[in-house]
Amino acid sequence: MDLELSKEDLAFRDGLREVFLGAVPEDVRRRTALGETTREDIVTSQRILNEHGLAVPHWPQEWGGRGWSPTQSHLYSSELQRAGVPQPLAFNVSMVGPIIAEFGSEEQKRTFLPATANLDIWWSQGFSEPEAGSDLAGLRTTARRDGDQYVLNGQKTWTTLGQYGDWMFVLARTDPDAPRKQQGLSFLLLDLNTPGIERRPIKLIDGSAEVNEFFFDEVRIPAENLVGEENKGWSYAKFLLGNERNGIAQVGTGQRIYADLAAASGAIPTEDGLLGHDPQFRTALHTAKTTLLALEATQLRVTAASENGKASPVSSLLKMEGTQALQELIKLRMRAAGSDGMLTGTGEQVRAGDAASVAATQYLNQRKLSIFGGSNEIQRGVIAKTILGL
Ligand X SMILES: Cc1cc2nc3c(=O)[nH]c(=O)nc-3n(C[C@H](O)[C@H](O)[C@H](O)COP(=O)(O)OP(=O)(O)OC[C@H]3O[C@@H](n4cnc5c(N)ncnc54)[C@H](O)[C@@H]3O)c2cc1C
Q: By CB under 6 A, which span of 128-136, 259-267, 303-311, 314-322 interacts with ligand X? A: 128-136
User: Which residues touch 319 (CB under 8 Å, ≥6 apart)?
Assistant: 245, 246, 248, 249, 373, 374, 376, 379
Residue nearest ligand X, Cβ-based: 133
Distance CA 91, CA 125 (A): 6
Q: By CB under 6 A, which span of 123-131, 226-234, 249-257, 295-303 interacts with ligand X? A: 123-131
CB of 157 to ligand X, least distance (A): 7
Check residue 133 for interaction with ligand X (CB under 6 A): yes
Task: Name the residue nearer to ligand X (CB basis): 143 or 378.
Answer: 378
Q: Are 327 and 370 in contact (CB under 8 A)?
A: yes
**Given 125, 186, 246, 298, the residue binding ligand X (CB under 6 A):** 125
Task: Specify which residues 125 forms β-bridges with.
Answer: 169
DSSP state of 93: I
Strand 123-126 to strand 167-173: parallel, antiparallel, or no bridges (unpaired)?
A: parallel
Whose CA is closest to 133, among 389, 385, 377, 386?
377
Whose CA is closest to 331, among 367, 376, 289?
367
Whose CA is closest to 309, among 65, 51, 49, 47?
65
CB of 233 to ligand X, least distance (A): 13
Task: Name the residue nearer to ligand X (CB basis): 222 or 381.
Answer: 381
CB of 248 to ligand X, least distance (A): 11
**Given 123, 150, 158, 169, the residue binding ligand X (CB under 6 A):** 158
Give me the 347-376 binding string for ligand X, x by CB under 6 A, dash otherwise.
Answer: ---------------------x--xx-xx-
Reply yes or no on whether 244 is catalytic. yes
Distance CA 170, CA 143 (A): 10
Q: Count other Cβ atoms within 10 Å, centred on residue 376.
A: 17
**Given 5, 38, 134, 198, the residue binding ligand X (CB under 6 A):** 134
Check residue 173 for interaction with ligand X (CB under 6 A): no
CB of 371 to ligand X, least distance (A): 4
User: Which residues touch 161 (CB under 8 Å, ≥6 apart)?
Assistant: 39, 91, 122, 124, 210, 211
Check residue 128 for interaction with ligand X (CB under 6 A): yes
Given 79, 129, 244, 321, which residue is catalytic?
A: 244
Q: Are 320 and 372 in contact (CB under 8 A)?
A: no
Task: Name the residue nearer to ligand X (CB basis): 112 or 214.
Answer: 214
Task: Name the residue nearer to ligand X (CB basis): 59 or 127.
Answer: 127
Task: Name the residue nearer to ligand X (CB basis): 16 or 248.
Answer: 248
Under the rule (CB under 6 A), what is the footprint of ligand X?
Answer: 125, 127-128, 133-134, 158-160, 211, 368, 371-372, 374-375, 377-378, 381
Q: Which residues are annotated as catalytic?
A: 244
